[in-house]
Amino acid sequence: MEKIKSPIRIELSLGIMFQSVNCYLVPGKVLTLIDCGLDSEENWQTFQKKLNENGYQVADIKQVIITHEHIDHIGLLPRILEKSEATIRIPKMIEGWFSRPTEMKEAYLQFKKKLLSNLGFPKDIEQQAIRFIEEGRSYKKVDDLHRFETFEEGDILHFGNTQWEALNTPGHCPTQFVFLQKKQKRIFSGDMLLPIAPMPIVTEDPNNPDQPIRALKELQLSFERLKKYQIQQVYPGHGLEFTDANSIIEKQQARMQMRKNECYGAIKNGHQTPYEINRAMYPYQMMPPDFSGLYMVLGYLDLLEEEGRIQKETINNTWTYKWRKL
Ligand SMILES: [Zn+2]
């Protein structure tokens, strides 16, 4: 059996202090790159330097595999397409972001606007939030679509002289894929498993158009799915590689459980709308730019509603939650 080499982690800047994103160079017969960072001149230089240090050039990359379509995971792709002949493998679910990006972004914006209008934001902050989302980076149409190949749940990918199974693990986003070796208990986890709990971003439900996805619920289901594999080696999309995935997942789940109960407490104390509950639970967060607490609140509300501990009512287009005594 050919020896399996360790992936080389390349850490790139997110342009925000101390925050970074990983891509992984995986040596083997087919030199493979998993994800490709956020686009910037600085990151492009860092990326090439790191390749050179390991004896490679961009032109040596034969295959790029993408875990999900977020801008911090596909940023350098156009530059890599130009400087190499690599085949690009992407989840079939994200094809539209490359073939018709304007349409995709427009639909995304429309949904976000509609969602924000339900959450009880003061009008001025809602406007700021909309502007912030509109100004977010746009995706460019890719001319080299013939170099793209797609994969789906259960497909086998080949890199590092070995085989990996592609699993769709929604939660961070519906399109999140991880690459798993069941026997060796290793995983490239994208933003599904991270040293710090992943953000359950609320977007339109691909299976239920116009409805928000229950992102935190999905994340919990994906956690349970991955726990069964007792994964020992994790190559995450952000932060350092780690071992013993289950202990990290269980810590994150315990914290979410605690915060969900605090959310229930906030509703008992009279905070009714997602905005009000967010302000009570995450008073230190600036929104925009930081919507992470809002996504957590929406996730906790879904779970509490499902447990019958709160009741949702839409009043003048605003989601309003009432505490229920059990
Ligand atoms: Zn990410």
List pLDDT tens digits, range 57-80: 999 999 999 999 999 999 999 999
CA-derived radius of gyration, the chain: 21
Mean pLDDT of 113-121: 96
pTM above the 0.85 mark? yes
Please identify which residue in the block is written with the tokens 């209008």.
Answer: 117
What is the Cα 78 distance to its own chain's centre? 20
321 within some domain:
no
* Distance (Å, whole) CA 103 – CA 97: 9
Q: How far is the CA of 300 from the centre of ligand 1 (A)?
A: 22
214 within some domain:
yes
* 326 pLDDT more than 80: no
Beta strands in the chain (DSSP E): 8-13, 20-26, 32-34, 63-65, 87-91, 148-151, 156-159, 162-168, 177-181, 186-190, 204-205, 208-212, 233-236, 242-243, 310-315, 318-323
pLDDT of residue 311: 97
Name the percent of the chain lying above pLDDT 70. Answer: 98
Q: How far is the CA of 74 from the centre of ligand 1 (A)?
A: 10
320 within some domain:
no
Q: Is the previous residue joined to 206 through a cis bond, with omega within 30 degrees of 0?
A: no
Which of 103-112, 272-281, 283-292 is modeled with the greatest confidence? 272-281
Can you name the residues that pair with 159 across neighbouring β-strands? 162
Q: How far is the CA of 307 from the centre of ligand 1 (A)?
A: 30
318 within some domain:
no
* 2 pLDDT more than 60: no
171 and 42 in contact (C-beta within 8 Å)? no
Q: How far is the CA of 92 from the centre of ligand 1 (A)?
A: 19
Q: Which domain holds residue 55?
A: 8-100+141-243
18 within some domain:
yes
65 within some domain:
yes
* Distance (Å, whole) CA 56 – CA 54: 6
* 81 pLDDT more than 60: yes
* Distance (Å, whole) CA 298 – CA 167: 25
Contacts of 125 (CB under 8 A, 6+ apart): 275, 287
* Distance (Å, whole) CA 204 – CA 57: 39
Q: How far is the CA of 22 from the centre of ligand 1 (A)?
A: 8
Q: How far is CA 246 from CA 187, 189, 193, 219, 222, in A?
A: 13, 13, 10, 14, 12
The mean pLDDT of the chain is 95
Q: How far is the CA of 276 from the centre of ligand 1 (A)?
A: 27
pLDDT of residue 3: 58
| CATH number for the domain harbouring residue 217 | 3.60.15.10
176 within some domain:
yes
Q: How far is the CA of 158 from the centre of ligand 1 (A)?
A: 23
268 within some domain:
no
* Distance (Å, whole) CA 293 – CA 314: 21
Q: In the β-sheet with 8-13, what is the strand arrangement from edge to edge?
A: 8-13, 20-26, 32-34, 63-65, 87-91, 148-151
* Distance (Å, whole) CA 110 – CA 324: 33
* Distance (Å, whole) CA 312 – CA 274: 11
* Distance (Å, whole) CA 37 – CA 39: 6
Mean pLDDT of 247-251: 98
pLDDT of residue 178: 98
Q: How far is the CA of 200 from the centre of ligand 1 (A)?
A: 12
Q: How far is the CA of 197 from the centre of ligand 1 (A)?
A: 12
Contacts of 208 (CB under 8 A, 6+ apart): none
* Distance (Å, whole) CA 269 – CA 79: 52
Say how many domains are in the chain: 1
Q: How far is the CA of 325 from the centre of ligand 1 (A)?
A: 39
Q: How far is the CA of 21 from the centre of ligand 1 (A)?
A: 6
Residue 1 pLDDT class (50, 70, 90 cuts): very low
* Distance (Å, whole) CA 248 – CA 258: 16
Q: Is the previous residue joined to 122 through a cis bond, with omega within 30 degrees of 0?
A: no
Report every protein residue that has its C-beta within 5 angstroms of ion ligand 1.
72, 191, 237
Mean pLDDT of 120-139: 91
Report residue 29 as tokens. Answer: 């017969």
